[in-house]
Amino acid sequence: MTEPYTVEAQSKDLLVLNMGPQHPSTHGVLRLILKIDGEIVREVQPVIGYLHRGMEKLAELGRYPHFIIECNRADYVASYAYEAAYVRAVEELAGLQAPPRAQYIRVICLELDRIQSHLVWLGTFGLDLGVLNAFWYGFRERELILSLQQELTGVRMHPNYFRFGGVKADLPEGWTDKARRACDEIERKLDEYEEFLAQSDTFVMRTRGVGVLTKEMAIDWGVTGPNARASGVDFDLRRDEPYFAYEEFEFTIPVRTEGDCYARFEVRLEEMRQSVQIIRQALARLPHGPILQKGWEKGYQFLMAPTGEHYTRIEGPRGEVGIYLIGDGTTFPYRVKMRSPCFQNLSVLPELMRNTLIADLVAINGSFDLVMGCVDR
Amino acid sequence: MNEIVFSVGGALALIGVVAGGGGILTYVFRKLFADFGQRLGPNRVGPYGILQFVADGIKLVAKEDIIPARVEHWGFRLAPYLTFVPAVLAFSPIPFGDGLIITDVRIGLVLIFALAALAPLGEVVAGWASNNKYAMLGGLRAAAMDVSYEIPLLLSAIAVMLLAGTASTREIVERQRELWYFVPQILGLFVFIVAMIGKVGVLPFDLPEAESELVAGYVTEYSGMRFAFFFLTLFANVFFIAALTVTLYFGGWLGPFGLDLPPMLSFIWFFVKAGVLVFVVFWLWNSLPRVRIDQFLNINWKLLFPLSLANLILTATLVALGVVK
| Domain assignment present for B38 | no
Asked whether the beta carbons of B313 and B208 are under 8 A apart, the reply is: no
Residue type, A108: I
**C-beta atoms of B133 and A15 within 8 A:** yes
Distance from CA of A350 to the nearest CA of B (A): 17
A287, amino acid identity: P
CB neighbours of B151 closer than 8 A, spacing ≥ 6? B300, B305, B308
Q: Is B131 on the interface with A (CB under 8 A)?
A: no
Q: Name the domain count of chain B.
A: 1
Q: How many residues does chain A have?
A: 377
**B297 touches A: beta carbon within 8 Å:** no
ipTM score for this prediction = 0.80
Q: Coil, helix or strand for A25? A: coil
Nearest to A370 by CA among A2, A51, A3: A51
Q: What share of chain A in percent tops pLDDT 90?
A: 6
In one-letter notation, the amino acid at residue B48 is Y
Asked if B293 has any chain A CB less than 8 Å from its own CB, the reply is: yes
B303 found inside a domain: yes
Q: For chain A, what is the radius of gyration of the CA atoms?
A: 21
pLDDT above 80 for A311: yes
Cα separation, B312 vs A62, in Å, equals: 77
Residue B85 in any domain: the answer is yes
Q: Domain range for residue B258?
A: 70-320
Residue-wise pLDDT for A161-192, tens only, equals: 888 888 888 888 888 888 889 889 888 888 88
C-alpha of B11 from chain center? 18
- Which residue, among B141, B207, B292, B301, would best test binding to A if mutated, counting the most A CBs under 10 Å from its CB? B292
Residue B102 in any domain: the answer is: yes
Average pLDDT over residues A222-241: 88
Give the type of residue at B279: F
Q: Residue A124 in contact with residue A142, Cβ under 8 Å?
A: no
The whole-angstrom separation of Cα A128 and Cα A365 is 9
Strands A162-163 and A166-167 come out as: antiparallel
Q: Does B197 touch chain A (CB under 8 A)?
A: no
Average pLDDT over residues B124-147: 87
Assess contact for B164 and B178: CB atoms under 8 A.
no
For residue A310, give the 3-state DSSP assignment: strand
pLDDT at B98: 78
pTM: 0.85
- Write down all domains in chain A, each with its CATH number in brackets: 49-340+359-376 (1.10.645.10)
How many residue pairs bridge chain A and chain B with CB atoms within 8 Å of each other?
81
Q: B35 in a domain, yes or no?
A: no
Q: Is the pLDDT of residue A124 over 60?
A: yes
Chain A residues in contact with B212 by the CB 8 A cut-off are 24-25, 127-130, 362
DSSP string of A115-150, one letter each residue: HHHHHHHHHHHHHHHT-HHHHHHHHHHHHHHHHHHH
Q: Is residue B23 one of the residues assigned to a domain?
A: no
Residues of B with Cβ-Cβ distance to A201 under 8 angstroms: none
